[in-house]
Amino acid sequence: MKVTLEPIFHKGSRCIALRFTYSYELKEYLKRFPGVYWSKSLRCFYFFYKEARLIEFTNYLKEGGIIYHKIRKVNNLRKRKGNIVSLGVLNKQKVEVHTEYVDFLKGRRYSKSTVKVYANFIQDFLRFSKDKDVNTLNEDDVRLYIQWAVDKLNYSISTHRQLVSALKLFTHFYPLCSIDMEKINMPTRDRNLPVVLSKDEIIALLQATKNLKHRTALAMLYGSGLRIGELINLELSCFDFNRKQLHIKNAKGRKERYTVIAESCFPLLKNYYATYKPVKYLVENPKGGQYSPSTIRVFLKQSCKLAGITKRVTPHTLRHSFATHLLEHGTDLRYIQELLGHSRPETTMVYTHVTRRDLQAIQSPLDSFKGNEPLPYIEHTKPFLT
């Protein structure tokens, strides 16, 4: 019996597909390994890739007397924006260090998403250093890795900053290495203004979303100013309709807060609950459990296209719009900070730069010419900028 291990990207994650000539005994043996799933779309068994899990699986195959074949070095691929690049293979020492680093992050109570992101950064860094002993890694290795990651993986400034933070935590966790992070610069944060939808665009977006579950999700993102992770984790017990309040638990930074529930969403929520009958979470997977963030992003993109919205819209854009529209209505900035769950007022202050309340009162100097008469229409007979 023979199994081919093929690296794939499935459900937004690196996975290992298991290809083999059908055999009932082999199929049942593979299914017994923890974490092996069947994919209807791919028509194969697979498991989510982790270095330690791959080693355990190959040992499991050896114990069963099964021959396996790896395609393209299954444990050294990295994908970023359509590009697949090759990295080194982790040796036993680095596998152990990486596993302990993940446990270190969990012990410090970092969120699941932070643990996943930081662990991937350090895994790639250890791979990039190839066979070099972890104890001898220094700031030059860090610089070379960061230069490679920014160039080959096209990291943004925010991702670059996350990478440096992950490496700083790694040196704190593993002081035996020779890395001096004081010599590594943290890139300055981008000062981009958030994209905001107008009220008419919000209405058009919700009207274009015909699916009841999808419309409810988007209405809650905007109507309560939620992050996408907060929406996914939102339980039915968090609603207080009498006080029109929503209890947000385990938000960013392990904080809790209260935000508002739009009264206009009450009929929508009642209709949604009667139709879908969610058990625990407001928005649930059809098979039960939490909804997928990628699914929300997909149908949001589709709804924007149907609504004729050409701006680059993400779930966080609805949160930005919520805050901006509150500020335009005259809501005090301190209350907006509380509703959004921002730790620092400086974070909320960014919305003062995008609100139209004060800008609408400012007149362009061009409008003051000739009694504010409209500019004359000129019919072009030649191409513009010839």
Same domain, 60 and 97: no
* 296 within domain boundaries: yes
Nearest to 169 by CA among 108, 215, 220: 108
* Whether 233 contacts 249, CB under 8 Å: yes
* 208 within domain boundaries: yes
* 44 within domain boundaries: yes
Same domain, 11 and 152: no
Same domain, 327 and 216: yes
**CATH number assigned to the domain comprising residue 323:** 1.10.443.10
**CATH number assigned to the domain comprising residue 144:** 1.10.150.130
* Whether 16 contacts 5, CB under 8 Å: yes
Q: Determine the structural domain holding residue 154 and report its residue range.
A: 84-183
Same domain, 206 and 123: no
What mean pLDDT is predicted for residues 245-260? 86
Q: Structure tokens of 354?
A: 């995008």
Radius of gyration of the chain (CA): 26
> In this predicted model, which residue has the larger pLDDT, 170 or 363?
170
Residue bearing tokens 């202050």: 349
* pLDDT number for residue 190: 72
Which residues are marked as active site? 227, 252, 316, 319, 342, 351
Rounded Cα distance, 2 and 61, in Å:
9
Q: Structure tokens of 142?
A: 């860090």
* Whether 207 contacts 268, CB under 8 Å: no
* pLDDT number for residue 344: 83
Rounded Cα distance, 111 and 253, in Å:
8
73 phi and psi angles, rounded to 5 deg: 50, 80
Total domains, the chain: 3
* 109 within domain boundaries: yes
Q: Among 47-51, 52-56, 176-180, which range has the highest average pLDDT? A: 176-180
* pLDDT number for residue 10: 74
* 27 within domain boundaries: yes
Span 67-116, pLDDT tens digits: 888 765 444 555 554 444 556 667 888 888 998 999 999 999 888 888 88
* 386 within domain boundaries: no
* Whether 235 contacts 280, CB under 8 Å: yes
* Whether 315 contacts 228, CB under 8 Å: yes
Same domain, 57 and 105: no
Nearest to 309 by CA among 207, 192, 210, 215: 207
Q: Structure tokens of 213?
A: 């579950």
Same domain, 57 and 91: no
Same domain, 320 and 214: yes
Same domain, 203 and 349: yes
Same domain, 115 and 237: no
* Whether 138 contacts 180, CB under 8 Å: yes
Same domain, 226 and 341: yes
Amino acid at 198: S
**CATH number assigned to the domain comprising residue 39:** 3.40.1170.30
pTM: 0.66
* Whether 185 contacts 305, CB under 8 Å: no
